[in-house]
Amino acid sequence: MSNRVQRLVDKAALQPRAGIIIHKPSNIFYLSGYTGEGLLVITQALRAIVTDFRYVEQAQQHAPGFSVHSISNDINHAQLAASLLKNEGITTALYEDDEVTVRQGKQLEKAMDTITLSPLNNLPEALRQVKDKDEIKLIEKACAISCEAFEYICGIIKPGMTELQIKRQLENFMMEHGAQSTAFDTIVASGPNGSLPHAIAGDRVIQDGDMITLDFGAKYKGYCADMTRTIAVGQPSEKMLEIYNIVLHAQKTCQDALAAGKNCKEVDAIARKIIGDKGYGAYFGHGLGHAVGIDIHEDPRLSPKCEDALETGHVVTVEPGIYLPGIGGVRIENTCVITKDGARSLVPASRELRIL
């Protein structure tokens, strides 16, 4: 963790009289290991956590390299951060203008009277894009728990169950098998609900012949998994089989195309071409994928707008889909790590259509 703070200091080219204030929980966790409330104050010499009484002991345990400072009735977070910075002779502070609320911003401006505030420009997020070996292991473990849950749920889904029952059983299984939580709210979209890419699981009862899209992931030691499988309960319609095979071909082709140096929008374009050539371009309206890590959606994005090049250590999803209003939808998603010689899926579950 101390190495990460030093890399941030280097990336920001932090001057001796400049400091950094971190409010975003995922950046606080990445830089310090601390998961409670509060903020980080960093200078060339200082690594500090500003929090309140409830979290003092937790912060000391999580972040041994940091000094821990508690607010009181007389001094708020902004004032305590300002006093730490002023003690170091700091005159400029970089802060997360995309994270602090308007109210927090006003408090900061007031407290930092002799300090000039300036945007940090998502430098911690830039560092987080390339995952180290330990981070990849944690994402891989999160994916392994998710795949076990997928196997389990395929064994119990039957006509007559509701989407919500499936969602609860899937999430419970992940929790009972090592997940700290779900990485995001599980999507269970059955039958015609499958045409809603981010359908909310509800009371719909599974029927024979339904296809069901399951989009879910475990969170393990702070890191997210993201996977989607569309399965069939009994024999699906010809139309659904047709779009399944197109999505499967697009997913496999794009996953095989992942490599360091490739442009994100170039990989997205492969899926758009495959699906478009079959006449379903208008029914694939979202990006091909996104990076995953501490947050479920990180940069870079595999989207038509993203000019970034993939790098070894990026972890991205590949998740093409086709959504036909009133009929249903198919999406297939793996979380993949970019390696020296291509990419490797962290999701071992088969992508072939599973008919229960």
Q: Which residues bind Mn ion (CB under 5 A)?
A: 226, 317
Distances (CA, A) of 190 to 33, 203, 285: 39, 10, 19
SS3 assignment, position 33: coil
Choice between 69 and 331, CB closer to Mn ion:
331
Q: How far is the CB of 351 from Mn ion (least distance, A)?
A: 15
Q: How many CA atoms lie within 13 A of 201 on its CB side?
A: 22
Is the separation of the CB atoms in 63 and 34 below 8 Å? yes
Q: How many CA atoms lie within 13 A of 268 on its CB side?
A: 22
280 DSSP 8-state letter: -
**Which two three-digit tokens encode residue 170?**
């899937």
Q: How far is the CB of 233 from Mn ion (least distance, A)?
A: 23
Choice between 47 and 301, CB closer to Mn ion:
301
Q: How far is the CB of 117 from Mn ion (least distance, A)?
A: 34
Q: How far is the CB of 337 from Mn ion (least distance, A)?
A: 15
Q: How far is the CB of 319 from Mn ion (least distance, A)?
A: 5
Cα Rg of the chain (Å, integer) = 23
Choice between 56 and 248, CB closer to Mn ion:
248
Mind spelling out the 3-state secondary structure of 110-149?
Answer: HHCCCCEEEECCCHHHHHHCCCCHHHHHHHHHHHHHHHHH
Choice between 123 and 138, CB closer to Mn ion:
138
Choice between 129 and 317, CB closer to Mn ion:
317
Q: How far is the CB of 317 from Mn ion (least distance, A)?
A: 4
The Cα 192–Cα 152 span in angstroms is 24
Choice between 51 and 334, CB closer to Mn ion:
334
Helices (H) and strands (E) in the chain, counts: 10, 19
Choice between 32 and 317, CB closer to Mn ion:
317
Choice between 135 and 295, CB closer to Mn ion:
295
- Which residue, 191, 207, 238, 73, is CA-closest to 199? 191
Q: How far is the CB of 295 from Mn ion (least distance, A)?
A: 11
- Which residue, 206, 224, 231, 183, is CA-closest to 331? 231
Q: How far is the CB of 283 from Mn ion (least distance, A)?
A: 18
The residue with its CB nearest to Mn ion is 226
SS3 assignment, position 47: strand
Strand partners, 316: 291, 336
Is the separation of the CB atoms in 64 and 44 below 8 Å? no
